[in-house]
Structure 1
């Protein structure tokens, strides 16, 4: 009987495919020939609140219209015959044999697993090639839509892009366009994770279409934001002239635009390598950093990138959520956290808690500045990534085994390493550490610091179910070999000193990954005291502020140490199957939290330092667009106002991506956060409220809300003072002189870059 059913099904498939082929091959019969197509429209059911990877289950769209979209407008028009999916997402439709197939999923449709109504209209597609291939049971899904989108974007074929998608997510060609409920194990998990991310994009595409957006997004328009032409409160030197040449977006354009918000393409994974306290002047062309300079030359660069402030903590906080909230120091995250900003993760991880006898965390903390360090209820990248069904990781080097991630690491005399010594005169030839001084170094306190965690200040990140799971170790450090001998904390069984290496091998890295070396390898520096064989104490030669009988200066030593670590870390990522998968889009960012400017003009892109009298930040109502003052932030005026320029380099695994591109426009940490929101489709360029904190401060936003933003009232250059996505779209006028901070010794650039290619571009 089983053989008989199989034979009947195969016969049915053959007849349907033959009918389609016959119609496609006959000019006279094309319009009159019809076929009956059966299939399903699949969905994903995402359950928030997982303590591990996102919980995503297979589901179906119930009550969705399926039709042949003859005019390609992304709607099942009343003139187009349609079928409605049943409780299992199934449809049966008699349609013209040569038309595109779409599922028009309206807000009256529901999700099969929960019965919840669909919040926003969505449209999914299946190409004619797929209909022919799956004639008896066509699966319309986010992945089928992506295959067709890629065909249109790249001018390729169904077969090529089907293989591309299968290769990207690591599933078999046979399963990549299957109903996920019929697939099991790792392949099902991969299908569901990708389907969730894709469906977010396709839903957004229809939002753009139905809203009548202009194409492309304003900040992706070559030359600058066309909405600023003739606008009040905008600097005339940089404002565009002429009319807005954009037109209303089409269905096809909306699908492409959803994968490149403000001109920033979607990446599958990004690794952000965080380094410390070195300005452009300290690294660019330095003989002590030949490897970083080689990486910069091999990739793309931002040549005018500004930190948020000084010292570290406000910069990392800004990288996590596009504001420093008035923080100007490195104090622990519970300082002055009172009232509405009181700490909620109680008990705090101090030494009174089981297993934390060595914890350096102080249960209470007050300061003269009275600036709250616990940010409550504010949006950030970590929560946004999780809410979208994607994943994040922070990988930190030189953790004490068994410590709480919310505390700084402590000294452990049982964990030792040999001192590094660099051979004088060989650094220019790319020589790594050679030999040792005979000095034995115990693991010092403070190799890992919570001030260097971009999510630590945010209460809703520390309270998130996935916080512990998503914080992981990173190897490559001086003390790795003996880490498991530690006695400061109880060492967990099977403790993994290098979870980054493990995750690269398995492919289980996050969508967003912050890589944080320890305070020796990140060029920050701490004092490490060790002993020679005769018992004499001495200071490590390459991690502190004191040179120990080495021909190089201590500054050169720590730069060289960091240079070697970055080189090894990048090579480790590039050796992974993840990086070597050409269908995956992977990027590595090399950046510093701050420069070292101490005087002069040091800021841009979110702060106007010449007139920073703002008393409170502002919030935007997502429904009405109304801008109001946020009274919940205490002593906001004490926040930083920038700290000069530093290195920002971008490497991608895309063989066809442009290399050697330098973007000379001014950007900041706020700009980077805006860019990441675009890259992972966490925001909507048409809705200011969707961008977190100061990343909403575009030139148009500043101009429209100048009365609520007193720090911008005296802006002499609203372009320079505003936040933009990092996309190289703005073209400086020929006579425009770029501002730069006091820690840059090159001449200020005049006019536009020679090449305006995006540093994120996936192909030339």
Structure 2
């Protein structure tokens, strides 16, 4: 709750021109009124933002209340964007924004997840199961937590909240980089069954990782597209009127076309039908998420990356 500013009563004998020189009484009263009006306006803007109104961060990116990032697998831009196999993702593209030159960092999958989450591959070069907590490097979750913000991941087919198992059925730890960091609580890794139905209770930033079938790794583009619609479609609809954001991106293109991947953004902060042809990568998305939440630090290569711009609603 914001408290109104209290201004001391001023005496006509104590009024002073802001430059330090004396001024006619009427002019002084006019300036006092203008300053008061500006203060009221500033307080109103602050209150609007605090109640969920949209405002722009100093970096030029919006400040959504909630951001959900879903990471899909192993498909190139041309395999998804404009494809009849992905009608739902393309409907979000039409109502939201597309990054037409979005790129992954490397191959295979796992290093890209570390890049997106921490601004570095952390020396990971393959898909082997990592030792839990092997790194203490800064990452999105540790930065959010240090700033008093909230974070969680929702991992489909994870056996139980916080489980560090390498694999179980269609679940694979290689797609869940948060387990590699000692400064990220394992309890912040939830099962997808724990994804809230009351979206207002979502963390400031959360990642959603479908299992090996529904992320398009083992199953079709159509399967993944249907999963997103069935499981995140209601959130996308809600985000469009609640100053929130859904980001759909991919880990890599499976070595098909220069590692150019689909990245679609949808929600109230996005200008409908917009696109950007600026070259972005996983570090750009990480930097944008950090700046959206007003973080003063940037993990790894996000520090030198550019924010995503040109697609935001005014």
Displacement of 1:660 in angstroms is 1.2
Mapped to 2, the partners of 1:564 and 1:520 lie a distance apart of 12
Mapped to 2, the partners of 1:664 and 1:390 lie a distance apart of 31
> Please, which of 150, 157, 160 is the counterpart of residue 398 of structure 1?
157
> Please, which of 564, 569, 579 is the counterpart of residue 231 of structure 2?
569
Q: Deviations over 1:62-88 (max 9, x none)?
A: xxxxxx9985xxxxx999xxxxxxxxx
Instruction: Provide closer, same or farther for how the CA distance between residues 403 and 509 of structure 1 changes in structure 2, counting only shifts above 3 A.
Output: closer
Mapped to 1, the partners of 2:17 and 2:126 lie a distance apart of 61
Contact 1:403 1:409 survives alignment (8 Å):
no
Mapped to 2, the partners of 1:457 and 1:694 lie a distance apart of 18
Matched, 1:499 2:114: no
State the partner residue of 1:380.
139
Superposition misfits of 4+ residues, deviation over 6 angstroms: none
Matched, 1:592 2:250: yes
Structure of larger gyration radius: 1
Mapped to 1, the partners of 2:130 and 2:115 lie a distance apart of 14
> Please, which of 469, 472, 476 is the counterpart of residue 190 of structure 2?
472
> Please, which of 640, 648, 651 is the counterpart of residue 263 of structure 2?
648
Contact 1:393 1:471 survives alignment (8 Å):
yes
Q: For residues 33-182 of structure 1, what are the structure 2 equivalents within 5 Å?
A: 98=33, 100=35, 127-128=39-40, 147-149=43-45, 162=47, 164-165=48-49, 167-168=51-52
Matched, 1:695 2:294: no
State the partner residue of 1:268.
65
Displacement of 1:573 in angstroms is 0.4
Mapped to 1, the partners of 2:148 and 2:174 lie a distance apart of 27
Contact 2:104 2:261 survives alignment (8 Å):
yes
Mapped to 2, the partners of 1:517 and 1:302 lie a distance apart of 22
Matched, 1:407 2:165: yes
Mapped to 2, the partners of 1:275 and 1:33 lie a distance apart of 69
Instruction: Provide closer, same or farther for how the CA distance between residues 516 and 33 of structure 1 changes in structure 2, counting only shifts above 3 A.
Output: farther
**Secondary structure of 1:168 counterpart:** coil
Q: For residues 210-359 of structure 1, what are the structure 2 equivalents within 5 Å?
A: 259-334=56-131
Contact 1:288 1:559 survives alignment (8 Å):
yes
Displacement of 1:126 in angstroms is 9.1
State the partner residue of 2:281.
668
Mapped to 2, the partners of 1:659 and 1:726 lie a distance apart of 15
Query: Could you tell me the TM-score, scaled by structure 2's length?
Result: 0.83
Q: Deviations over 1:215-271 (max 9, x none)?
A: xxxxxxxxxxxxxxxxxxxxxxxxxxxxxxxxxxxxxxxxx8xx5233212221111
State the partner residue of 2:26.
none
Instruction: Provide closer, same or farther for how the CA distance between residues 405 and 284 of structure 1 changes in structure 2, counting only shifts above 3 A.
Output: same
- Let me know the Cα RMSD of the aligned residues: 3.3
Instruction: Provide closer, same or farther for how the CA distance between residues 100 and 562 of structure 1 changes in structure 2, counting only shifts above 3 A.
Output: same
> Please, which of 290, 294, 308 is the counterpart of residue 726 of structure 1?
308
Contact 1:319 1:673 survives alignment (8 Å):
yes
Instruction: Provide closer, same or farther for how the CA distance between residues 677 and 575 of structure 1 changes in structure 2, counting only shifts above 3 A.
Output: closer
Q: Deviations over 1:167-218 (max 9, x none)?
A: 439xxxxxxxxxxxxxxxxxxxxxxxxxxxxxxxxxxxxxxxxxxxxxxxxx
Count of matched residue pairs: 299
Displacement of 1:319 in angstroms is 0.9
Displacement of 1:504 in angstroms is 3.5
Contact 1:276 1:592 survives alignment (8 Å):
yes
State the partner residue of 1:441.
none
Mapped to 2, the partners of 1:567 and 1:69 lie a distance apart of 63
State the partner residue of 1:509.
202
Structure of greater relative contact order (alpha carbons < 8 Å, 6+ residues apart): 2
Query: Could you tell me the TM-score, scaled by structure 1's length?
Result: 0.36
**Structure richer in helix, relative to its length:** 2
State the partner residue of 2:12.
32
Instruction: Provide closer, same or farther for how the CA distance between residues 262 and 317 of structure 1 changes in structure 2, counting only shifts above 3 A.
Output: same
> Please, which of 512, 522, 539 is the counterpart of residue 215 of structure 2?
522
Contact 1:588 1:651 survives alignment (8 Å):
yes
Mapped to 1, the partners of 2:45 and 2:91 lie a distance apart of 36
Mapped to 1, the partners of 2:62 and 2:199 lie a distance apart of 25
Contact 1:316 1:593 survives alignment (8 Å):
yes
